[in-house]
A and B are shown apart, each in its own frame.
Chain A
């Protein structure tokens, strides 16, 4: 019951957000643009800005904030505790949800302490280096199909037909996931700089552990997703989602089960959470952010949660059909010859909501893992990364390549 509630509350929040997101991007902005004074609203720069801004403000930040609550409440349930239930807004305690607001207020009000011998510039830079990359990477995440603003109440069979469709994705880049790897690699600077600039031996050890871990696992992460590139023949996430289609039999998890598991493991190591929390390792080296307090620490904390959301989003996009709802085509449901037609706007909202459900599911799953496992030792972590995951992912690539080649040769791809 409790775990269902834990899923339902973020899901409900997300559904509201999805309606708002699609409403603003697909309805409000085209309405502004349809007036002579509002032509600027169709400017691609403005579009990109509004999409990323809304995605972050309406989806990523609420989910990341709710995750802090989910983490505390879910761990409490797993551990037979009650969990947070004190903070309240005018007496409304809401199962501890207001705690994330209380946490934020606490972090902002705390003393902003910088160690005397720390490098002030780098010390300040490090949290920014940690959080900006994870925000930027959201640019490539497709959170819905294409909205046709002219026909939102009609039933349309193919979204490619409409002339001025608005893609629900900030940046449609051909490099796609490579962009993600490139930007995510920058995040390692945040942790390493934090460890180095704090002028603390423990945080230095933590920073070194973080850099070695993140670099090692990036290799596996890239290798694991290569199989998916070959199967779908594209690097671009939106194209991948279209390639997977609404039928779950074509989703990445069916075609690339090994790749999905490898990618999930390696990407979890990137988020630096238990069982991969050796850079933090609060009982060993205490962590690269040991000298950080207040909102500076809060930014690291938030970056970690946003990474969790992002990993879930990529997992959903590449291996679980992205925003595709099973058997929901652009004109409605089709299953075993039965059809249920739906207006375009309903379909789009359903798809965006489905994307959110998948994201929340993977967030939930990561929290489960985080509260179940003990922590690795650094050398064991390296063994796992280099000696087990990497060979398996290379084998996965070879097998996938062979199968893809065979299908191509048979001409039936």
Chain B
């Protein structure tokens, strides 16, 4: 060690070295992020590299921590919806639905929510899922340098978000779902507009597929990089497309159907090797399956109300609020005190864009959550990142990290 120090300080000249192995080398510590283009501004990886090979990686998350769980404790049950929008901000509808289902489970009204509302929840959820997968696929291509693919995917995502904006009034932070139903019914001709999008979205997916699947450079970057075995993925607790890429067909929608998912005919695409390319094609196929579900949902959707008929849970209609004393009191109580949820605790899980999105909520009988914990799938998936990038080149971090689709809002909460 002393010898090394001397040489580093220049006392021993390089020409004096007996053999090449005498050359003093030391690993370099490299700080990747949080202000690094590939790290989304929300992750920091402290790398120890030898040349370009990562020898050690310390993944640090939490730069986008917004105290979701603590904030929720100060909000009424309904006021938590805008916070859930900001979990996975690429597919907010899925978070809305997941949270609503958890509260309804605790209220014991899960079965009583009108069928039309359940169908609409499936519809908006699957649209969000397509948007989520499109974002992941296109951003993954972009960070490998294929900027054009990114814009194609983003264009398609924007079509979906435009429709969701028409539905909810907000492009990203929809806050569309309510406990016991929905904020509004579908807009006129919504089904036609969505169905008219499918040929265009399919064309975009086909374009992406055509330009990447047979592209030697892309395949070299994706094939066999970021590999993980089924056992390791399971032991980390992976779910969602990343788990399915290893060949395990666990999908909450199939395994534990919620809403009306048991009425649809759809497949769960699985990969075989668990590498980045498998994750890519699993996402691509899932986007197509979501369109299948949507087509069936639009055929089956019944008419009727979109909200439960229960004044303790659902706000009264505005004319009633302004013209009747009962309506006004009911409105006041729900807004100020919140919905009274019976004491107890419940864990409810749905299939989010990245995997099992779980809400563990505890109520003490008041109008506000006593505890609202989120099992963000990204957080669990990101925990495996360090294992997957060690002993690989620095360049492999990019596709591996991208195909995990780590969304800061959901991971750091």
Contact = CB atoms under 8 A, between A and B. Distances in A.
Contact of A286 (B36, B52, B220, B221): B36
Contacts of B217: 275, 373-376, 380
A285 B33 CA distance: 11
Contact of B152 (A75, A79, A209, A379): A79
Contact of A285 (B144, B148, B218, B394): B394
A305 B218 CA distance: 25
A369 B173 CA distance: 37
Contacts of B397: 284
Nearest to B31: A201
7 contacts: A79-B151, A275-B217, A286-B37, A374-B144, A374-B146, A378-B393, A380-B221
Contacts of B143: 283
A86 interface: no
A284 B147 CA distance: 15
Given A284-B394, A374-B217, A380-B217, 16 more contacts: A80-B151, A275-B217, A284-B38, A284-B395, A286-B36, A371-B147, A372-B211, A374-B141, A374-B221, A375-B217, A376-B221, A377-B221, A377-B393, A378-B393, A379-B393, A380-B221
B402 to A, nearest CB: 9
B146 A373 contact: yes
A133 interface: no
Contacts of A387: none
Contacts of A282: 37
Contacts of A209: 52
B30 A202 contact: yes
Contacts of A81: 151
Interface string B371-407: 0000000000000000000000111111000000000
Q: Which of B30, B144, B145 is most buried by chain A, counting CB atoms within 10 A of its CB?
A: B145
B155 interface: yes
Given A284-B394, A377-B220, A371 B148 contact: yes
B148 A372 contact: yes
A374 B151 contact: no
A284 B398 contact: yes
B195 interface: no
A201 B27 CA distance: 12
B147 A75 contact: yes
Contacts of B28: 201
A291 interface: no
A175 interface: no
Contacts of A374: 141, 144-146, 212, 215, 217-218, 221
Contacts of B38: 283-284
A372 B145 CA distance: 9
Nearest to B28: A201
A236 to B, nearest CB: 36
A284 B155 CA distance: 25
B148 A79 contact: yes
In this complex, the interface size class of chain A, counting residues with CB under 8 Å from chain B, is 20 to 34
Contacts of B395: 278, 281, 284, 377-378
Contacts of B152: 79-80
Interface of A: 75, 78-81, 201-202, 205, 209, 274-275, 277-278, 281-286, 371-380
Contacts of A375: 144-145, 217, 221
Contacts of A372: 146, 148, 211
B220 A277 contact: no
Contacts of A286: 36-37
B145 A274 contact: yes
A282 B395 CA distance: 11
Most A CB within 10 A of own CB, among B151, B155, B218, B396: B151
A192 to B, nearest CB: 16
B32 to A, nearest CB: 9
A284 B393 CA distance: 10
Nearest to A373: B217
Nearest to B142: A283
B145 A277 contact: yes
A394 B151 CA distance: 40
Contacts of B150: 79
B145 A373 contact: yes
A365 to B, nearest CB: 15
A277 B141 CA distance: 15
Nearest to A383: B220
B398 A373 contact: no
B145 A79 contact: no
A202 B28 CA distance: 11
Nearest to A282: B37
B215 A373 contact: yes
Interface in B130-164: 141-148, 150-152, 155
Contacts of A377: 220-221, 393, 395-396
Contacts of A284: 38, 394-395, 397-398
A273 to B, nearest CB: 10
A205 B398 contact: no
Contacts of A379: 393
Contacts of B142: 283
Contacts of B36: 286
Interface centre among A278, A284, A372, A379 (most CB of B within 10 A): A284
Given A374-B221, A377-B393, A205 B52 contact: yes
Q: Which of B28, B144, B215 has the most CB of A within 10 A?
A: B144
A376 B148 CA distance: 16
Contacts of B37: 282-283, 286
Interface string B28-71: 10100000111000000000000010000000000000000000
What 6 A-B pairs are tightest by C-beta distance, nearest first? A375-B145, A79-B151, A374-B144, A283-B143, A374-B146, A283-B38
A81 B395 CA distance: 29
A379 B220 CA distance: 11
Interface in B170-224: 211-212, 215, 217-218, 220-221
A80 B155 CA distance: 8
A285 B396 CA distance: 11
A338 B287 CA distance: 62
